[in-house]
Structures are given as C-alpha cells and as structure tokens.
Amino acid sequence: MEFFAIADIQTTPEQLQQLSVDKLNEYCADIEKVLHVEHENSSSIYCIWGEFTVHRQLINGGVRFSMPTCPNAFVWTITTGFDPAPEKVVIHGTINRTDHDADFIESIALFLDAWKAGLKRHFVDAG
C-alpha cells in the first residue's frame, strides 16, 4: 500500500539528506523518543506503533527511512524535485500489504501528516 503527504516547502535534496536519525522525534511528533543511536544511519525509536529500529539511506532527491523489524516493512521517503510535486516536498510511505485494517491505515496517514508538520517547523518556521 502507498501513502502520500505533500508539504509546501521549498528545499533541496541536500538539505533533506541532513535529516538525521538522532533527531527523528524533532521532525515527527508521532516519534515519541529516540532510544539509542547505533550510528549516523541507524537508531532505535519509540513511536505510535511501539519500539523499532530505523535505518536512514540517502537517495536521489532526498532521504529514505525504513523500519527493517516492522512486520509491515514500513518505509518512508522524503524527497523534492520529482512528481507528483517537484517544487514541494513529497513524503511517500509504503507497506508490504495490499490491504490492512482501517485503524492502521489511518495511523500511517497521520504519521505522514506528522512528518509534514514537523518538516514545515524545521524548514519554514525555524528559518
């Protein structure tokens, strides 16, 4: 399943690639706490779904975060410069299911909305 949130933010892929695993809870209110930083591209977090490891990967246009221990293989990317909104920031989430219960689907949409709000605070309001 795919999920999208579009943030009205002008930034660069290089700035998005500066989003770090040690500050995930500063970017997203649904990530309550960073529990442990393994290294610059891996941390343990506590979020709305419980405790998970998060990996960070630099990609074309921005950054990808993944939860390799998540039973739904949840991944989200934060990019700019590409469709569906090349002048804005696209937050794109996926899980490895074709369907899921309505509450879980809503929680993913709310998670992406929390990222959208947090990125606005980070890139626009703080600037």
Residue 57 backbone phi and psi in degrees, to 5: -140, 130
The answer to whether position 14 is within a domain reads yes
The answer to whether position 72 is within a domain reads yes
- Residue 126 reports pLDDT greater than 80: no
- Residue 92 reports pLDDT greater than 70: yes
Confidence of residue 99 (pLDDT cuts 50, 70, 90): confident
The answer to whether position 105 is within a domain reads yes
- Residue 90 belongs to domain spanning: 2-19+54-125
pLDDT of residue 11: 95
The answer to whether position 25 is within a domain reads no
The answer to whether position 34 is within a domain reads no
User: In percent, how much of the chain has pLDDT > 90?
Assistant: 94
The answer to whether position 43 is within a domain reads no
Number of domains within the chain: 1
- Residue 110 reports pLDDT greater than 80: yes
The answer to whether position 47 is within a domain reads no
**pLDDT digits 0-9 by tens, 16-72:** 999 999 999 999 999 999 999 999 999 999 999 999 999 999 999 999 999 999 999
The residue-averaged pLDDT of 108-115 equals 97
The 3-state secondary structure of the chain reads CEEEEEECCCCCHHHHCCCCHHHHHHHCCCEEEEEEEEECCEEEEEECCEEEEEEEEEECCEEEEECCCCCCCCEEEEEECCCCCCCCEEEEEECCCCCCCHHHHHHHHHHHHHHHHHHHHHHHHCC
Provide the whole-model pTM.
Answer: 0.94
The answer to whether position 66 is within a domain reads yes
